[in-house]
Structure 1
Amino acid sequence: MINNAAEAYKRQQVMTATPEALTLMLYNGALRFMKEGLDAMEAKKWEQCNTSLQKAQKIILEFQATLKMEYDISKQLMPLYDYVYNGLVEANMRSKPEKVTECMDIIRELRDAWAEAMKIARKERGAS
């Protein structure tokens, strides 16, 4: 019962979130799946590692698919997302925990920049 309530709450959060908040949720989800994959890799739980890293890869693919290439920032993000995606594939295939860590660092930096941009935008909307 509690599990169903938690799932319903999560679903409601996603359904009512702004596009900006959804992007932040996706960054956090990618980081969570990478951490799960890294932990599973270190524990030699290969199936769990594979599943978690593939979930992170799917989020990165979603980021790539939604970039609007007419904006300069998108042209800068695409190679970063490519690098992270390929890094996760390599980490998964070759059991390279350092590669997962490197990808996590990149996504964490992007997530933090996104969160900061959201704060600034909120302040600017409040001021106008």
Structure 2
Amino acid sequence: MLNSTVNNNIYLTYKQTAVETATPDKLLLMLYDGGIKFLRFGEKAILEKDYAAAHKWLTKVQDILTELMITLDMEQGEIPQNLFNLYEFYRYEVQMANVKKDTERLQPVIEFFVKFRDVWAEAAKKALVQK
């Protein structure tokens, strides 16, 4: 049991360090990756009727969407406002999927996360090449 606790502490320390030292581009990709993973876990939990697990995973997705919303620089014009509105909409959809245990409501959210993750990954690559 002690070895498991030590391994868990090492993993958590590694994970925290990875987040604290990541570039903004990498942090954004980590948020999208986490969102995709937690959405799929939540979807699976609903299908298996493990509603406690579904709630856990889907509230993590809501937290990620909230984090994406608060990191937007709203003084940069229309694009951040449009992203804010999208994040807010999808946060509501995840909340409703959680309340109603409806995996169909999660499908557009998963698609959004996958597409936007790919867009941000490509943008980060291009920005790196231009430096």
TM-score, scaled relative to structure 2:
0.89
Deviation at 1:75, TM superposition (A): 1.8
Give the residue type in structure 2 aligned to 1:17. A
Q: Counterpart in 2 of 1:93?
A: 99
How far apart are 1:80 and its partner, in Å? 1.0
Does 2:55 correspond to 1:50?
A: yes
Q: RMSD value over aligned CA atoms?
A: 1.1
Tell me which amino acid in the other structure corresponds to 2:16.
R
- Give aligned pairs, total: 125
Which of 99, 113, 121 is 2:119 aligned to?
A: 113
C-alpha separation between the residues in 1 aligned to 2:40 and 2:25? 23
After superposition, residues 46-85 of structure 1 pair within 5 angstroms as: 46-71=51-76, 72-85=78-91
Which string of whole-angstrom CA distances, capped at 9 and with x for unpartnered residues, describes residues 58-78 of structure 1? 110111112111222202211
Instruction: Tell me the alpha carbon deviations over residues 9-46 of structure 1, each in whole angstroms, 9 at most, x when there is no partner.
Output: 21221111111111111111111111111110000000
Give CA deviations for 1:79-115 in whole Å, capped at 9, x if unaligned. Answer: 2111110110110111110111211111111111111
Work out the CA distance in 1 between the residues paired with 2:27 and 2:34.
10
The percent of aligned pairs where both chains have the same amino acid is 34
In 2, the alpha carbon distance for the partners of 1:67 and 1:15 equals 19
**Aligned with 2:7 (options 2, 5, 17):** 2
Q: Which letter does structure 2 place at the counterpart of 1:101?
A: Q
Cα distance, 1:55 vs. partner? Answer: 0.7
Q: Which amino acid aligns with 1:81?
A: Y
Residue 5 of structure 1 and its aligned partner are, at CA, apart by 2.4
Give runs of ≥4 in structure 1 deviating > 3 Å.
Answer: none
